[in-house]
């Protein structure tokens, strides 16, 4: 039954909290404690409309855009949104109530979210829900009221656990979109007849993992460069070759990048990486460009760490390398990605499932880069019977 009160507990990031923490550490972002910025607050749910759905959140996944909102390292999004945001782009929940015009959901259904906040004329988002979309409220709370268009039925029979399903709503569409674009761009330059099997390399986190699962599923060679032995081991069980990023000092110097380039050339029999999935910025950017094969494609999601990049355009032009900046998929693409749960996407989940009260600690540990997989926060101990069999 829906709760009588329209006020629930939810986490918020305020411009005041960001400023206070920055002052504490003298402006040194590396010393900021994200747990001091993400704070439990109260949220008054908006009134239900005829096309809305009232959801009780069961589990959410930690997303890096929350880390960036807390650090205000690229843009002070809390300040830009009027001083306070309620973050949370990725969630799984139980439907409590539906509006009069909603036909695709009913009370008791389990649904996942997507974060497409402001689709353009082609269906791609101009802004992201619960981040830079004005008036949007995220799902790191006990309950929420969302438009039915923001929900997708959770594939409870896909073979994944509840926590694995909760890890995917944001990351899976991102990886699916990036893979289709990168492969399409490469095939414009090199046909399948010319080169049927590609070398695909990804750096670091959850999106790269899923990206490489797609590459492996479609018959290509896949390589995962990560500093986490747990994540490398998980992907190696799927036939994806692990590369220890720490072996190359996280590419701190030109010599480290050169050593990495030689290593990739060796394990690919001189073929190098035809498709690279990275951030197009930060420490892995030079390394990703260095290992790119002729005609290669380097694809990226978001704008973590920096909004500006620099590279040698002459070298990339001679090599015919394409750099592709992506954002997020269409709503249709989100539905397509959901159909791949369990069949292709088998995410690595962090060993600890965080309780709701420890959500700030989850994000500080994400900031420290010490988690063994995608972090999941369990919002409630009171799970419906429909999901108890897949915990």
For the chain of 391 residues, list the mean pLDDT of each consecutive stretch of 10: 70 96 93 95 95 98 89 88 94 98 98 93 92 93 96 98 97 95 97 98 91 98 94 96 94 95 98 88 83 95 67 92 90 97 97 97 92 96 97 94
Q: Taking a C-beta distance cutoff of 8 angstroms, is the pair 171, 206 a contact? A: yes
CATH class assigned to 173-326: alpha beta
- DSSP letter, residue 341: B
Q: What is the pLDDT of residue 303?
A: 57
Estimate the crossing angle of helix 206-217 against helix 171-189, to 10 degrees.
Answer: 50
- CATH class (in words) of the domain with range 7-167+347-388: alpha beta
pLDDT for 282: 67
pLDDT of residue 75: 84
Strands annotated E in the chain: 7-14, 38-44, 52-61, 84-85, 91-98, 110-113, 143-147, 151-153, 199-203, 221-226, 241-244, 273-278, 292-301, 322-326, 349-355, 374-378
Place of tokens 């329209």: 6
Q: List where CATH 3.40.50.720 sits in the chain.
A: 173-326
125 contact partners, CB below 8 Å, separation of at least 6: 115, 116, 117, 118, 119, 327, 328
Residue ranges, comma separated, of all CATH 3.90.180.10 domains in the chain are 7-167+347-388
**pTM of the entire predicted model:** 0.94
Closest CA to 185 of 328, 321, 333, 344: 321
């Amino acid at each position: 039954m829906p709760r009588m009160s329209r006020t629930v507990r939810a986490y918020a990031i305020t411009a005041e909290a960001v400023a206070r923490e920055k002052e504490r550490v003298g402006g040194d972002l590396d010393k900021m404690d994200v747990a001091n910025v993400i704070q439990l607050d109260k949220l008054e749910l908006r009134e239900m409309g005829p096309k809305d759905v009232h959801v009780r959140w069961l589990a959410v996944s930690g997303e890096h855009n929350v880390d960036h909102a807390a650090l205000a390292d690229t843009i002070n999004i809390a300040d830009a949104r009027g001083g306070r945001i309620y973050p949370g782009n990725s969630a799984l929940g139980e439907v409590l109530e539906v509006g009069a015009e909603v036909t695709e959901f009913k009370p008791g259904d389990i649904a996942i979210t997507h974060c497409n906040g402001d689709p353009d004329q082609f269906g791609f988002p101009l802004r992201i829900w619960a981040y830079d979309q004005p008036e949007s409220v995220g799902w790191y709370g006990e309950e929420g009221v969302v438009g039915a268009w923001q929900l997708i039925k959770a594939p409870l029979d896909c073979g994944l656990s509840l926590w694995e399903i909760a890890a995917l709503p944001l990351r899976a569409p991102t990886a699916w979109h990036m893979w289709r674009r990168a492969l399409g761009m490469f095939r414009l330059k090199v046909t399948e007849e010319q080169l049927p099997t590609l070398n695909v390399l990804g750096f670091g986190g959850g999106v790269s993992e899923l990206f490489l699962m797609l590459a492996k599923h479609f018959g290509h060679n896949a390589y995962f460069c990560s500093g986490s032995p747990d994540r490398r081991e998980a992907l190696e069980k799927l036939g994806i070759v692990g590369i220890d990023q720490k072996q190359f000092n996280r590419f701190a110097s030109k010599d480290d990048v050169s050593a990495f380039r030689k290593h990739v050339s060796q394990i690919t029999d001189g073929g190098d990486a035809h498709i690279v999935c990275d951030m197009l910025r930060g420490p892995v950017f030079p390394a990703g460009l260095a290992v790119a094969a002729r005609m290669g494609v380097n694809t990226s999601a978001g704008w973590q760490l920096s909004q500006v990049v620099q590279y040698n355009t002459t070298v990339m032009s001679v090599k015919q390398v394409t750099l592709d900046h992506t954002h997020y998929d269409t709503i249709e693409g989100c539905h397509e990605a959901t159909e791949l749960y369990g069949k292709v996407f088998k995410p690595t989940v962090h060993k600890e499932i965080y309780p709701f009260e420890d959500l700030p600690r989850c994000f500080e540990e994400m900031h420290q880069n010490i988690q063994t997989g995608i972090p999941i926060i369990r919002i409630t101990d009171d799970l419906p019977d429909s999901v108890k069999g897949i915990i």
